[in-house]
A and B are shown apart, each in its own frame.
Chain A
Amino acid sequence: MSNYRIQGATGEWEVVIGLEVHAQITSNAKLFSGASTRFGNEPNANVSLVDAAMPGMLPVLNRECVRQAVRTGMAIDAQINKWSRFDRKNYFYADLPQGYQISQLYHPIVGEGSLLIDADEKAGIPEPKTIGVERIHIEQDAGKLMHDQHPTRSYVDLNRCGVALMEIVSRPDMSSPAEAGAYIRKLRSILRYVGSCDGNMEEGSMRADVNVSVRRAGEELGTRTETKNVNSVRFVMQAIEYEAGRQVDVLEAGGKIVQETRLFDPDKAVTRSMRSKEDAHDYRYFPDPDLLPLELEDSFLVDCRASLPELPDAKRARYRDALGISAYAADVITADVETARWFETLLAAGAEAKAGANWLTSELFGALNRLGRTISDCPVSPVQAAQLLALVADGTLSGSLAKQVFEIMLESGEDPAKIVDERGMKQTSDTGAIEAVIAGILAANADKVEQYKGGKEALFGFFVGQTMKAMAGKANPKVVNDLLKKALEA
């Protein structure tokens, strides 16, 4: 149980949060038409006659969208409904050409499931917590209205209209903004592992309707409000924080919470009422007579399950228990599927697990941060990285040389062996060469040799530094140490 409480003027309040996440299903074509789902095309280019709701046009369901919803359900251990059906949600708006959205109210494809959010002491989540998922259903996205291109007109672009969405409805099991944030991050991670949604909140691939109510500890649920279309984890957390505080203020002032739809204003981090859309909340749902019930065959379900990848929780446990990777590194690497994939390619290319994990979480992440890149557009491939780590492991490169080589790899994209070869960056253990350099340095610093021999042993570091410098960092540090000691004690 979260210990998050709102301190009101009259005492403490608990917050109850449920999330309805709309996740765009990854598919080439739309849910009920053959138009493309590509983002960023010319207005109304990705529109078929079906999407524009021309007279006499009919929907035909895309198998891939069904498959992805089922796989997502399986990934959260949910009940898969072998018999489901599409309903029409009727309302009038310019982004909804049919005058109804095809959705699933009465018989969703996925039933009860759950996911686990991780403990995060600092965020006030002392231990892992199971969040219930009530259902997942498939529905159509709407088009887009542009309001700022003409003084008296709005413009309608139907490119998004009919793109497949999963609506993932949680139970009201979250009790702090941090838990809600953790839920969305975990859900996003699972969706990306499954491959059913790219989780790209900036492009609108994932957005959340946030249901918030407050109550005094132990009391009945309060009246909730729904803040629509919040499109980042941070905004979800801000919206909850603001909305919970607002509700407490209203209640403590003797007011009542109105069950209503609200909008989040990211600039001011506040929610505000959308009463303009409140007038007709009667959607007149009924089964879409253009479609038959969706009946899933066992073979289809078997294929869906067989195609599920190892999911983040299982992967993290395996990294820790079987590969011996630190808990921190296992968390970081498994949090996102792209990182985990990159890491596993690194291992497949021969890197040792612990060294690989450490290098990835420190060197690679550091570099990506600096460059403002993500792992998916990392200029160095995992195979190249494995080659680099192999050069360290076999003594060809020292730690500092490896860093230099990595920098060059980031810039040039070249293989590490080539860089080492062409630039002569190989670490040397050639005792003859090193002895010659040492002899020269000791001769040039006879006074310091005297002092060292007189007991000022701290000067040893000075001799190491001079030697390495003279050898341009390529000398094997251990060999330098050994030879220096020998020479000074001679």
Chain B
Amino acid sequence: MTELTNLTVAGIRDGFRNGDFTAREVAEGFIGQVEGARALNAFIIETPDHAIAAAEAADRGRAVGEFGALSGVPMGIKDLFCTEGYQTTAASHILEGFVPTYESTVTAKLFGAGAGMLGKLNMDQFAMGSSNETSAFGNVISPWRRNNGDGAALAPGGSSGGSSAAIAARLCPAATGTDTGGSIRQPAAFTGISGIKPTYGRCSRWGIVAFASSLDQAGPMARDVRDCAILLEVMTGFDPRDSTSLDLPVPNWQAALSGDLKGKRIGIPKEYRVDGMPPEIEALWQQGIAWMKDAGAEIVDVSLPHTKYALPAYYIIAPAEASSNLARYDGVRYGQRELPDGAGLQDMYAATRAAGFGDEVKRRIMIGTYVLSAGYYDAYYTQAQKVRALIARDFEQAWTKCDMLLTPTAPSAAFGLGEKQADPIAMYLNDVFTVPASLAGLPAMSVPAGLDSQGLPLGLQIIGKPLDEQGVLDAGLAIEERAGFTARAGKWW
């Protein structure tokens, strides 16, 4: 059944409709892949029963001519999405054993369209991290290895590292991700897959464990741009239960998908040329520019003058929101409780949270607590939100000159596990290209564009105007068509 597990979402969907195979065959194929790849530690729990049940329902549906948009397609679900009846932990010990009695809007839409769930994907704890090394359930190991034979375990990126690793290793054709400062795009780039973060408000946040509410957006991760469009149509849409949800119809992105960029102006922001960026990344960027021209686009130079302040603003706003969002993990209503002998309520909180949260989560909660605390609020938080307004304004001014921006997704290829762990700042710098679009709520995607000299994938990022997912997907497709990225990780697991 290995050929089935090489199919894309579109391939599975169409083959299933055509009667080339049953949904059950597809599900079993992927379940086998998942079981055979535990060395990657991509899943926190496997849920073959869910995938099989969805597949059987799809097969029954097909018998009477009923198809959902994703009938027969099994997926991986990032463990940040609450799934009814299946443990949801956000990769944190503090939520170990938590079994939601409700289904997140996004997963409900996916399952409603016929998709099945192969398992809950590992991730950085509470989506805080860029390498998947902050999970309480162990690191996810990228299926990719350097071509120098060193056998070093590499980071699959983060925070959606289980998602990226699982797709790259063909454990699932697609997965959900969430992106707060680059958590879909950076892991996609690290593992040679595609992923899109839609405009803030397109995907409902209801039922997704919150990290930083004003930044969090769900999005699909898959092998190619078309699959992203297919999934995005299912995942997005107005949800009255999320006050920040956009009350807009969902466009038919898939049908309108076109790699022809005639008449489009692609902006190249000069501030994204950062010191110390590897020449290979710079070269790839130039290659991307050439592809864009080849697809008919006009290239314009633009300036986003506040780019260098995006990361500092992000590291105030995201921790501030997180420090408050994570206050609910207190050992009272769900999750782990740590109750030392004779402890009072407040001691119980402190012990529960000390034992339940990982180091990076604690660091960010403390930074957030500090920047919001009396006397510092205006200097840090208010100033950060003002800078954020300036960053948004930079983009608005750029849109008077261009329709989209092309940048590298990350300043490096995948690094080795453990390499950056000692220095949080070095790790944070990995998000330097993805954070600005997050702060401005813009749609952005990463598509694989090539390999570096070590044989590791590199991605290019397209950032679009608010609500212009179509433009982003089209530009992504233009790159995909020209990059001809077919490399995949050799199986070692």
Task: Give the distance in Å from the alpha carbon of A90 to the alpha carbon of B244 in the complex.
Answer: 21
Q: Is A99 an interface residue (CB 8 A)?
A: yes
B385 and chain A: residue at smallest CB distance: A287
> Is the CB–CB distance between A55 and B324 below 8 Å?
no
Option from B88, B101, B213, B346 in Cβ contact (under 8 Å) with A290: B213
Q: For chain A, which range describes its interface: under 10, 10 to 19, 20 to 34, or 35 or more residues?
A: 20 to 34
> Is the CB–CB distance between B333 and A56 below 8 Å?
no
B82 to chain A, nearest CB (A): 5
A164 to chain B, nearest CB (A): 16
- Which residues of chain A are within 8 angstroms of B208 by Cβ–Cβ distance? 56
Task: Give the distance in Å from the alpha carbon of A284 to the alpha carbon of B373 in the complex.
Answer: 5
Given contacts A49-B101, A55-B328, A290-B244, 7 further A-B pairs with CB under 8 A are A52-B333, A54-B333, A55-B100, A56-B208, A61-B243, A284-B324, A289-B214
Task: Give the distance in Å from the alpha carbon of A311 to the alpha carbon of B295 in the complex.
Answer: 70
Q: For chain B, which range describes its interface: under 10, 10 to 19, 20 to 34, or 35 or more residues?
A: 35 or more
Q: Is A286 an interface residue (CB 8 A)?
A: yes
> Is the CB–CB distance between B332 and A58 below 8 Å?
no
Contact with A along B231-246 (1 / 0, CB 8 A): 0000000001111100
Q: Tell me which residues from 259 to 299 in chain A have a Cβ below 8 Å from any Cβ of chain B.
A: 282, 284-286, 289-292
Given A284-B372, A284-B373, A292-B243, check contact A56 B205 (CB 8 Å).
Answer: yes
Task: Give the distance in Å from the alpha carbon of A284 to the alpha carbon of B366 in the complex.
Answer: 12
Give the interface centre of B95, B212, B328, B349 by most chain A CB atoms within 10 Å.
B328
- Which residues of chain A are within 8 angstroms of B212 by Cβ–Cβ distance? 289
> Is the CB–CB distance between A286 and B381 below 8 Å?
yes
Given A55-B95, A58-B242, A61-B243, check contact A285 B206 (CB 8 Å).
Answer: no
A291 and chain B: residue at smallest CB distance: B243
A100 and chain B: residue at smallest CB distance: B324
B33 to chain A, nearest CB (A): 29
Task: Give the distance in Å from the alpha carbon of A286 to the alpha carbon of B241 in the complex.
Answer: 22
- Which residues of chain B are within 8 angstroms of A291 by Cβ–Cβ distance? 243-244
Given A100-B324, A100-B327, check contact A56 B98 (CB 8 Å).
Answer: no
Option from B205, B321, B328, B369 in Cβ contact (under 8 Å) with A58: B205
Task: Give the distance in Å from the alpha carbon of A224 to the alpha carbon of B212 in the complex.
Answer: 38
- Which residues of chain A are within 8 angstroms of B415 by Cβ–Cβ distance? none
A-B pair count, CB < 8 Å, reads 96
> Is the CB–CB distance between A56 and B372 below 8 Å?
no
Given A49-B102, A57-B206, A286-B381, check contact A94 B332 (CB 8 Å).
Answer: yes
Task: Give the distance in Å from the alpha carbon of A54 to the alpha carbon of B208 in the complex.
Answer: 10
B292 to chain A, nearest CB (A): 35
Option from B244, B333, B346 in Cβ contact (under 8 Å) with A92: B346
B486 to chain A, nearest CB (A): 37
- Which residues of chain B are within 8 angstroms of A55 by Cβ–Cβ distance? 82, 88, 90, 95, 98, 100, 209-210, 328, 334
Contact with A along B89-132 (1 / 0, CB 8 A): 01000010010111010000000000000000000000000000
Given A55-B95, A156-B332, check contact A92 B327 (CB 8 Å).
Answer: yes
> Is the CB–CB distance between A54 and B102 below 8 Å?
yes
Q: Sorted from nearest, which 8 A-B pairs have the closest CB atoms?
A: A99-B327, A284-B372, A289-B213, A289-B214, A53-B328, A56-B207, A55-B209, A282-B374
B349 and chain A: residue at smallest CB distance: A92
B206 and chain A: residue at smallest CB distance: A58
A138 to chain B, nearest CB (A): 15
Task: Give the distance in Å from the alpha carbon of A154 to the alpha carbon of B345 in the complex.
Answer: 9
- Which residues of chain A are within 8 angstroms of B88 by Cβ–Cβ distance? 55
Q: Is B428 an interface residue (CB 8 A)?
A: no
Task: Give the distance in Å from the alpha carbon of A55 to the alpha carbon of B242 in the complex.
Answer: 14
Q: Tell me which residues from 237 to 260 in chain B have a Cβ below 8 Å from any Cβ of chain A.
A: 240-244
- Which residues of chain A are within 8 angstroms of B241 by Cβ–Cβ distance? 58, 60
> Is the CB–CB distance between A99 and B214 below 8 Å?
no
Q: Contact residues of B with A, CB < 8 Å?
A: 81-82, 88, 90, 95, 98, 100-102, 104, 205-210, 212-214, 240-244, 320-321, 323-324, 326-328, 330, 332-334, 345-346, 349, 369, 372-374, 377, 381
Task: Give the distance in Å from the alpha carbon of A59 to the alpha carbon of B242 in the complex.
Answer: 7
Q: Is A98 an interface residue (CB 8 A)?
A: yes
- Which residues of chain B are within 8 angstroms of A92 by Cβ–Cβ distance? 327, 330, 346, 349
- Which residues of chain B are within 8 angstroms of A156 by Cβ–Cβ distance? 332
B126 to chain A, nearest CB (A): 10
> Is the CB–CB distance between B240 and A98 below 8 Å?
no
- Which residues of chain B are within 8 angstroms of A60 by Cβ–Cβ distance? 240-243
* Sample of 25 A–B contacts (CB below 8 Å): A49-B101, A52-B333, A55-B90, A55-B98, A55-B209, A56-B209, A58-B241, A60-B240, A60-B241, A60-B243, A61-B243, A90-B323, A90-B324, A92-B330, A98-B328, A99-B326, A99-B328, A100-B324, A284-B323, A284-B369, A284-B372, A286-B324, A289-B213, A290-B244, A292-B244
B3 to chain A, nearest CB (A): 37
B212 and chain A: residue at smallest CB distance: A289
Q: Is A97 an interface residue (CB 8 A)?
A: yes
- Which residues of chain B are within 8 angstroms of A71 by Cβ–Cβ distance? none
A63 to chain B, nearest CB (A): 13
Given A58-B243, A282-B374, A291-B243, check contact A97 B90 (CB 8 Å).
Answer: no
B176 to chain A, nearest CB (A): 13
> Is the CB–CB distance between A56 and B206 below 8 Å?
yes
- Which residues of chain A are within 8 angstroms of B244 by Cβ–Cβ distance? 290-292
- Which residues of chain A are within 8 angstroms of B334 by Cβ–Cβ distance? 54-55
- Which residues of chain B are within 8 angstroms of A54 by Cβ–Cβ distance? 82, 100, 102, 333-334
Q: Is A88 an interface residue (CB 8 A)?
A: yes
- Which residues of chain B are within 8 angstroms of A286 by Cβ–Cβ distance? 320, 324, 372, 377, 381
- Which residues of chain B are within 8 angstroms of A154 by Cβ–Cβ distance? 345
The A interface is mostly helix, strand or loop, or mixed, namely: loop
A162 to chain B, nearest CB (A): 13
Give the interface centre of B243, B323, B369, B373 by most chain A CB atoms within 10 Å.
B243
- Which residues of chain A are within 8 angstroms of B321 by Cβ–Cβ distance? 289
Given A286-B372, A289-B213, A289-B214, check contact A56 B104 (CB 8 Å).
Answer: yes
- Which residues of chain A are within 8 angstroms of B381 by Cβ–Cβ distance? 286
Option from A57, A61, A88, A285 in Cβ contact (under 8 Å) with B377: A285
A59 and chain B: residue at smallest CB distance: B243
- Which residues of chain B are within 8 angstroms of A284 by Cβ–Cβ distance? 323-324, 369, 372-374, 377
Option from A53, A57, A282 in Cβ contact (under 8 Å) with B373: A282
A61 and chain B: residue at smallest CB distance: B243
- Which residues of chain A are within 8 angstroms of B101 by Cβ–Cβ distance? 49
B346 and chain A: residue at smallest CB distance: A92
Task: Give the distance in Å from the alpha carbon of A98 to the alpha carbon of B325 in the complex.
Answer: 8
Given A55-B88, A284-B373, A289-B213, check contact A99 B345 (CB 8 Å).
Answer: no
Task: Give the distance in Å from the alpha carbon of A282 to the alpha carbon of B207 in the complex.
Answer: 29
- Which residues of chain B are within 8 angstroms of A61 by Cβ–Cβ distance? 243
B102 and chain A: residue at smallest CB distance: A49
Task: Give the distance in Å from the alpha carbon of A60 to the alpha carbon of B205 in the complex.
Answer: 13
Option from A59, A97, A100 in Cβ contact (under 8 Å) with B333: A97
- Which residues of chain B are within 8 angstroms of A97 by Cβ–Cβ distance? 328, 332-333
A118 to chain B, nearest CB (A): 41
A280 and chain B: residue at smallest CB distance: B346
A145 and chain B: residue at smallest CB distance: B345
- Which residues of chain A are within 8 angstroms of B206 by Cβ–Cβ distance? 56-58
> Is the CB–CB distance between A56 and B82 below 8 Å?
yes
- Which residues of chain A are within 8 angstroms of B102 by Cβ–Cβ distance? 49, 54
B372 and chain A: residue at smallest CB distance: A284
B215 and chain A: residue at smallest CB distance: A289
Contact with B along A37-61 (1 / 0, CB 8 A): 0000000000001001111111111
- Which residues of chain B are within 8 angstroms of A59 by Cβ–Cβ distance? 243
Give the interface centre of B82, B212, B324, B330 by most chain A CB atoms within 10 Å.
B324
Task: Give the distance in Å from the alpha carbon of A286 to the alpha carbon of B373 in the complex.
Answer: 10
Task: Give the distance in Å from the alpha carbon of A54 to the alpha carbon of B88 in the complex.
Answer: 12
> Is the CB–CB distance between B372 and A90 below 8 Å?
yes
B323 to chain A, nearest CB (A): 8
Task: Give the distance in Å from the alpha carbon of A290 to the alpha carbon of B201 in the complex.
Answer: 11
Task: Give the distance in Å from the alpha carbon of A284 to the alpha carbon of B333 in the complex.
Answer: 23
Q: Tell me which residues from 47 to 105 in chain A have a Cβ below 8 Å from any Cβ of chain B.
A: 49, 52-61, 88, 90, 92-94, 97-100
Task: Give the distance in Å from the alpha carbon of A59 to the alpha carbon of B240 in the complex.
Answer: 10
